[in-house]
Amino acid sequence: MSHIPEDELLLYAMQSGALSAGRRVEIESHLATCAECQERHDFLAIHDEGAVDEALMEEDTWEPVFGSPTYDALMEHGARVAEEDREAEELLRSYLEHPIRIAWDALTTKRRYRTGGVVRKLNAAAHANYKNKPRVALTFADAAISIAELLPDDMYPARAVYQLRGAAWKERANALMILGEFPQAHESLDRAQRAYAKTPHSGLGLSIVALVRAGVLYAQLRPDEALVMAERAERGFAHAGDEKRRMDAAFLRASILFEAGDPNRALPIFRGIIEHGENTQNEQWIALGSYAAANCEVDRGDMGEASILFHRALRTFRKQGPETERLLTEWGIARVIFHGGKLHEAINRMRAIAVELEKRGMATYAAYVGLDIVEGLLALNHPKEIVELAQRLFSAFTKAGMLTGALSALAYLKEAAATNRLTRQDVAAVRTFLQRVERQPSLQFVPPPRPPEDRI
Amino acid sequence: MPQELRETKSMTPVSPGGTPGVPASFEEAYLRFAPLLRKIAVRKYGIPLAEAETLVHDVFATYFTNAGEVNDVRPYLVGGICNAARHYLRRRDAREAIFCGEDPCAASPSESILQEVERKLLLRRLLARVGSRCRELLHRYYLAGESTQTIAGALHFKPMTVLICLAKCRKRARAAYEAMTETRP
């Protein structure tokens, strides 16, 4: 049997009117009896069905070939942002190396510094410095704000300039939080929030504001409000798909619960963080979650589980650091040993840890460990060693230039030990005070009330 | 969206080596995720395509302006278009619109949307490889909606030649598409 030529079959399939009526009838009859031609015809006839044809009819399938007004506009914007960043790199080089120059030179008076690139660069510099050099970060953030506020509202499409303003105010809040200037930090966060809210399609900025605000409230010892904010941030980050920041928010929320004396509610969150680390094969999250969950287990009295978790954390911190976390985990293990009743072994371990912490300039943590040692020595009834230890802690704090309130607390500890009147309650009171004064530097130490027989 | 033929002669992709001056990551993010964002706005929220295009533009413009803050681009953009769409639809206070009250989050695109977008991206890669003549024919026929006679007239071909070429291009496109789909895990 002879088949229908493909050209003719195609014409029949797509534009049958181009064929004569007689030929159409012939082809129709042939197709009824020839499976091969029928199959070829079907393939040719299906031109507006199926995923490929459908997608070929959609404009954005062709965008990489032809571009589009949106593509053109965005690439132009992207090129501008990149160019501004390149210029800012040059303009700010000496300022980033010598931040004090920013305070001397009024950048806003120099027209070429009034760019989005300069604001982005200053924001990034503020962020990089806020934890360790908050004063420097504040200088960068203030400069970023003064420029960002001068930029025209319509400088970028989609009011995106407000993102830069929001980020600048947020960096200012970060620095102020570390500096303990909480009311000013809240004011800056209000400004950041207002700016970010101008671009409602981007929820990330507002979520970051919520997280920083949770941190400020936590530092202000306002745990209930801090919890609400941390939860809000967590949901915002979940929405924006920012898993790293979501974990930061979850960790903060659990830490607040833990410090508020609620390890039972904190524990599942820390367990969730471990699970997240396992799912994403992130050893740091596993280690941080394990360490924090172990602390919860200690407070819950499950020393076996605490030991397992601390050791899990320790494996990672020994391998990858950070050293601070490694030392704190070692301290956790020593506390488990302490609770197990092996006081001598626990005290020996803690002494070694305290020395290492001091060497690294971590006087406050060394003091916390010292307080645990004091508790052990109290239980062993070694008052002389307590006096020596209290004296050493006081000297270390003085040398480290610690806050007056913290020094007063340690002086009280030293004196109570010397007069043989130190109790576990005193140690607990000093520990609580040291935790609080770290976040509220202006706090003054008030000695705990004594039982009536102790009063003169 | 009205579309202009950018390179009707050569039909080369817009950015074979990247657009000069634009960070590669910006262009890559746009070409990779813009179709998904459009689909979410149109299919999930029922926003007209022209309006959706504006929202997509705004989400990307904001991202380009402050990209340093973004850890994970795809979910950031998906969350962004979700917020933008909801804001567009409800026009309510921006602060309330930020946090989605739904669980799971409404920003997660459905499986069918993801599949469609995946198909589109495959097809885009394929169109970059089929050759400029095929691209032009497919474009004129499918997107511009030109008849084979019009195409033949414009290209100085016989209508039959256009039909045959078109069929061959489709055949190649389908075969390549199926091969690409099958090789995916």
Please give the pLDDT value at position B93. 43
Report helix angle A404-418 to A424-439, nearest 10. 170
- Is B45:B86 a contact under the CB 8 Å cutoff? yes
- Per-residue model confidence (pLDDT) at position A12: 82
| Tokens 């800056």 sit on residue | A188
Nearest CA in chain B to A49: B142
Q: Kindly report, residue by residue over A352-396, the tens digit of the pLDDT.
A: 999 998 888 788 888 889 999 999 999 998 888 988 888 888 887
Report the gap between the CA of A5 and the closest CA in chain B (Å).
Answer: 11
d(CA A257, CA A269): 10
pLDDT single digits (tens) A104-127:
777 777 889 999 999 999 999 999
User: What confidence score (pLDDT) does residue B9 get?
Assistant: 34
Number of neighbouring beta carbons within 10 Å of residue A135? 12
B121 within 8 A of B131, measured Cβ to Cβ: no
Helix/strand number for chain A, H first, E second: 23, 0
Neighbour count for residue A365 (Cβ, 10 Å) = 20
Give CA torsion, residues B25, B31, B36, B40, to 10 deg: 90
CA-closest candidate to residue A40, choices B173, B157, B146, B164:
B164
| In A242-362, alpha helices (H) | 243-259, 263-279, 283-300, 303-320, 323-339, 343-359
CA max distance for chain A: 126
pLDDT one-digit tens code per residue, A397-440? 777 666 678 888 888 888 888 888 888 888 988 888 888 887 77
The pTM assigned to this predicted structure is 0.76
Output the pLDDT for position A403: 66
Token pair for A190: 């209000």
Across the interface, whether the CB atoms of A160 and B174 are under 8 A apart is answered no
pLDDT tens string B25-54: 899 999 999 999 999 999 888 888 888 999
How many residue pairs bridge chain A and chain B with CB atoms within 8 Å of each other? 244
Is B5 a residue whose pLDDT tops 60?
no
A407 or A315, higher pLDDT:
A315
pLDDT of residue B10: 40
Long-range Cβ contact pairs of A428-431 (< 8 A, separation 24 or more): A430/A371, A431/A368, A431/A371
To test the contact with chain B by mutation, choose from A62, A170, A171 the residue with the greatest count of B C-beta atoms within 10 A, namely A62
- Distance of alpha carbon A162 from alpha carbon A193, whole angstroms: 10
Predicted pLDDT at B108: 64
**Contact criterion met (CB below 8 Å) for B63 and B77:** yes
Q: Which residue of A has its CA nearest to B17?
A: A64
What burial letters (b/e) apply to A39-69, b meaning 16+ CB within 10 Å? ebbeebeebeeebbbbbbebebbbbbbbbbe
Structure letter (DSSP) for residue A5 = P
Q: Which residues of A touch B53 (CB under 8 A)?
A: 70
Residue, of B184 and B5, whose pLDDT is higher = B184
Q: Cα A405 to the chain's mean position, in Å?
A: 30
Predicted pLDDT at A1: 65
Residues 117-146 of B with CB under 8 A from A: 119-120, 123-124, 127-128, 135, 138-139, 142-143
Give the confidence band of B20 by pLDDT, cuts at 50, 70, 90: low
Of A65, A157, A199, the CB nearest to B14: A65
DSSP helix/strand/coil, A400 = coil
Q: Which of residues 59-78 of A touch B (CB under 8 A)?
A: 59-71, 73-75, 77-78
pLDDT score at A406: 83
Residue A113's pLDDT is what? 92
| Inter-chain touch A78–B138, beta carbons under 8 Å | no
Find which of B66, B82, B87 to mutate to test the A interface (most A CBs within 10 Å of its CB).
B66
pLDDT for residue A444: 84
**What pLDDT score does A103 carry?**
72
**In this structure, are residues A356 and A327 in contact, taking their beta carbons and an 8 Å threshold?**
yes
Nearest CA in chain A to B159: A11
User: pLDDT-based confidence at A132, cuts 50/70/90?
Assistant: confident
Q: What is the pLDDT of residue B173?
A: 67
Torsion-angle region of A359 (φ positive above 0: left; ψ -120 to 50: alpha; else: beta): alpha
Alpha-carbon gap, residue A183 to A212, rounded angstroms: 13
Q: What angle do CA A142, A144, A145 make, to 5 degrees?
A: 65
Task: State the pLDDT at residue B41.
Answer: 92
User: For A147-185, how does the pLDDT look when each residue is reduced to its tens digit (9 = 90+)?
Assistant: 999 999 999 999 999 999 999 999 999 999 888 888 999
Q: What is the mean pLDDT of residues A219-234?
A: 92
Please check the confidence at residue B182 and state whether its pLDDT lies above 90: no
More confident residue, A400 or A92: A92
pLDDT at B18: 61
| CA–CA gap between residue A283 and residue A294 (Å, rounded) | 16
3-state secondary structure of A441: coil
Buried b (16+ CB within 10 A) or exposed e, B69-97: bbeebebbbbbbbbbbbbbbeeeeebeeb
Q: What is the pLDDT of residues B50-91, one digit of tens each?
A: 889 999 999 999 999 999 999 899 999 999 999 899 888 876
| B122 neighbors B181 (Cβ within 8 angstroms) | yes
Q: Are A409 and A434 in contact (CB under 8 A)?
A: yes
Burial B100-129 (b: 16+ CB within 10 A, else e): beeeebbbbbeeebeebbebbbbbbebbee
For A:195-224, CB contacts with B below 8 A are: 197-208
ipTM field: 0.73
In the predicted model, is pLDDT for residue B115 greater than 50?
yes
- Torsion angle of alpha carbons B162, B165, B166, B170, nearest 10°? 180
Mean per-residue pLDDT over chain A, rounded: 88
- Give the best residue of B98, B117, B118, B162 to mutate against chain A (max A CB count within 10 A): B98
Q: Which candidate in B22, B65, B150 is best for mutational testing of the A interface (most A CBs within 10 A)? A: B65
Check CB contact of A278 with chain B, cutoff 8 Å: no
CA neighbor of B64 nearest in space, from A407, A140, A156, A48: A156
